[in-house]
Structure 1
Amino acid sequence: MEKKRNTISSFMEKYYLHFNAAAMVDAAKAYEKHLEEGGKMMITLAGAMSTAEMGKILAEMIRQGKVDIISCTGANLEEDIMNLVAHNSYKRVPNYRDLSPQEEWDLLENGFNRVTDTCIPEEEAFRRLQKHIFHQWKSAQDKGERYLPHEFMYKMLLSGDLEQYYEIDPKDSWMLAAAERNLPIICPGWEDSTMGNIFASYCIKGQLNPSTMKSGIEYMTYLSDWYIKNSGGKGVGFFQIGGGIAGDFPICVVPMLYQDMEMETIPFWSYFCQISDSTTSYGSYSGAVPNEKITWGKLDIHTPKFIIESDATIVAPLIFAWLLDM
């Protein structure tokens, strides 16, 4: 018997029948089928999805077990927590396309860093977190311990030190939901983030050692171990939001295990979907069609493959709503 769907998912099923809308529904149905058959799913977050408040629905995906591992940029790792502790001080600029260089400079002078139509308040966001994350870094170093970037973030969140600052409902923070579940996270290129820059500044000042922070190579070994243990049966799917290193880094674990570790029976990724507005062009990996990934040993001929060429801030919440039966 066909499943009776709730409001958003039934609306999608009735009206999203062609082109990118149809691809979105097809991808949602295949994601749902993948989970129902016992598969696991990685979600990758590029761009500014945390500042776009994707946590409002991604946190529920985590709580309901619809995602098993996340790969994200350092910006997405920290910006969800910044939104958690400084939301009331964010500034929205709906006319951002019309800003002059002087108006942009004025935002900087007033402590606002702009991400499209949203300005992150430097003092309330970055600096409010800085003393607490430094405490975690220094405490680990003093004990001779080393951790991955997300593990330090989890320690800070679970310590309760930030609760005094909460300015949104904590159930809307995907990082808090992930910390409470101890969800595996891959954060390649973490150094390219505000917290990465702050960590580097402490190293330059001699207050911290670079070795206190585990590296990107250690993230790959961490992912390799996880993939080997979780790719049996239906396998692991790959749901990519945007492009860049958040997707490029983890998808390579399969050819690395197959080619470099000579694990010839390692399964390919068993589902692939990318939401992106990047166009196919000369050398553009983010805009490459999924079939190109077959030639790199990442996807199988039979892997269900979807490309949705649209705005991820529109598409991802709709697909998640489908999966959550909203």
Structure 2
Amino acid sequence: MSQTAQTAAQAKTQGPVSDFIRHHYRHFNAAALVDAADAYTAHLASGGHMMVTLAGAMSTAELGLSLAEMIRADKVHIISCTGANLEEDVFNLIAHDFYERVPAWRDLSAEDEQALLERHMNRVTDTCIPEEEAMRRLERALLDEWRRADAAGERLFPHEFLYRLIRSGALKEHYQIDPKDSWLVAAAEKDLPIVVPGWEDSTTGNMYAAHCLTGEITNVHTVKTGIEYMMALAEWYTKTAPEHSVGFYQIGGGIAGDFPICVVPMLHQDLQREGVPMWGYFCQISDSTTSYGSYSGAVPNEKITWGKLSVDTPKFIIESDATIVAPLMFALILGW
């Protein structure tokens, strides 16, 4: 079946949100959204797998409301995210009722910000995360896991420690949203591979460093490193890509996307491996203006020169706010 025929058949079974999008989203970034969603669906239909990368503050933006269902529906096969997105999905899970929204966040003065600090409310754009109920609550549970692993000589990745917490039920009494709306809970249920480059640059990463400094954790390598994440990703990609072309769906820019996309040129150029497939699909949602020197805003074709994408890779850029675009694309892919 051709991609056009697939899209037509799919449209017949889609729900009201998808119908609205297909009727109204006809040009410019709106049309790019539809085209990218249809190409995503076609990539999966042909046996492909998909990596989703999360930059920015997508977990605090509650992307889990749609991303969790994408994971459960087997439309996401691996995730790369910042340490902030990894932990903030859990913060929201266990402290949602204590969050505060600041609708007029653009009008805050320095004094207003200081008042939030004194109340231990950490602002992420229009949302304040409560330190005690979210961050310290998770820290206490994580510290127990870190200590046990340290004493047993175990070493795990940051996301594996969180998987342990979720599966153990240690935090369940604190859940304040439906766990079906947590993308990390969905990922833990699927045992989804996750890559977290630069985890050290996160709240829990800072906490871990502090507990190493106090001597509560004796082996700093109890939590595995970013280099080990790249090695694990290389193994996963080498095993997966020959059987399932792997697509790359990038939300925002930064290390969450820059780190994993480099696995292909590393395998080709640094390990001199032959026959490693290129990324089979590429889409980036970004409001970063394409410009010289702006890596996050670089057009996909620039990635060809770095050995990341091929001439034939379907490529899309949607220049808009990911908090608007990603849920709409996921709705279209899921047929909502």
**TM-score of the alignment, normalized to the shorter chain, above 0.5:** yes
User: Residues 17 and 332 of structure 2 are in contact (CA less than 8 Å); yes or no, is this contact kept in structure 1?
Assistant: yes
SS at match of 2:273: coil
Give the corresponding residue for 1:49.
Answer: 58
Deviation at 1:281, TM superposition (A): 2.2
Q: Secondary structure at the match of 2:295?
A: coil
Q: Residue 291 of structure 1 aligns to a residue in which SS?
A: helix
2:296 maps to 1:278: no
> What amino acid sits opposite 1:166 in the alignment?
Y
Q: What is the alpha-carbon distance in structure 1 between the residues aligned to residue 312 and residue 134 of structure 2?
A: 45
The answer as to 2:237 corresponding to 1:232 is: no
Deviating more after overlay: 64-73 vs 202-211? 202-211
Q: Counterparts of 1:176 and 1:13 in 2: how far apart (Å)?
A: 31
Contact persistence 1:272–1:305 (CA under 8 A): yes
Which one of 309, 316, 326 corresponds to residue 319 of structure 2? 309
Q: Match of 2:310?
A: 300
1:106 equivalenced with 2:115 (yes/no) = yes
Q: Greater helix share, 1 or 2? A: 2
Shift in Å at residue 321 of structure 1? 0.3
Letter in structure 2 aligned against 1:172: D
Contact persistence 1:234–1:270 (CA under 8 A) = no
Residue correspondences, number = 326
What is the deviation of 1:187?
A: 0.2
Residue 234 of structure 1 deviates from its aligned partner by: 4.8
CA contact (8 A) 1:34 1:234 kept: no
Say if 1:71 and 1:250, in contact at 8 Å, map to a contact too: yes
Q: Offset at 1:111?
A: 1.0
1:244-294 Cα deviation digits (max 9, x unpaired) = 000000000000000111112100000000000011223111000000000
Q: Hey, what's the Cα distance between the residues in 2 that align with 1:282 and 1:89?
A: 42
Q: After the TM superposition, which parts of structure 1 deviate over 3 Å for at least 4 consecutive aligned residues? A: none
Identify the match of residue 182 of structure 1 among 191, 215, 218: 191
- Give CA deviations for 1:150-194 in whole Å, capped at 9, x if unaligned: 001101111101011000001000001101111000000000000
**Displacement, 1:205?**
0.7
Query: Which residue identity lines up with residue 89 of structure 1 in the other structure?
Result: F
Deviation of 1:137 after TM superposition, in Å, equals 0.6
Answer yes or no: is 1:115 the counterpart of 2:124. Answer: yes
Residue 74 of structure 2 aligns with an amino acid whose one-letter code is G
1:192 aligned onto 2:180: no
Structure 2 CA distance for aligned equivalents of residues 265 and 309 of structure 1: 33
Q: Which amino acid aligns with 2:130?
A: P
Cα distance in 1 between the residues matched to 2:316 and 2:292: 21
Confirm or deny that 1:166 pairs with 2:202: no
Matches of 1:33 and 1:210 in 2, distance apart? 44
- Aligned CA RMSD, in angstroms, stands at 0.8
Would you say the 8 A contact 1:48–1:76 is kept in 2? Answer: yes
- How many angstroms does 1:128 deviate by? 0.8
Change (3 A) 1:142 1:234: closer
Q: CA deviation at 1:142?
A: 0.6
Q: What one-letter code is carried by the residue in structure 2 that aligns with 1:154? A: Y
Instruction: Report how far residue 13 of structure 1 moved.
Output: 1.0
Query: Pairwise mapping of residues 129-278 of structure 1 onto structure 2 (< 5 A)?
Result: 129-208=138-217, 209-278=219-288
CA–CA distance in structure 1, aligned partners of residues 134 and 243 of structure 2: 43
Give distance in 1, aligned partners of 2:146 and 2:136. Answer: 15
Q: Which residue of 1 aligns with 2:133?
A: 124
Q: Is 1:43–1:71's contact at 8 Å kept on the other side of the alignment?
A: yes
Report SS of the residue matched to 2:215: coil
Separation in structure 2 between the aligned mates of residue 257 and residue 234 of structure 1, nearest angstrom: 17
Give, in whole Å, the separation in 1 of the partners of 2:237 and 2:185.
Answer: 23
SS of corresponding position for 1:42: strand
Partner of 2:21: 12
Give the partner amino acid of 2:24.
Answer: Y
SS in 2 for 1:286: helix
Give 5+ residue unaligned stretches, structure 2: none
Q: Offset of 1:235 from its aligned partner?
A: 0.6
Q: Residue 6 of structure 1: CA displacement?
A: 1.6
Deviation at 1:14, TM superposition (A): 1.1
Unaligned runs of 5+ in 1: none
SS at match of 2:199: coil
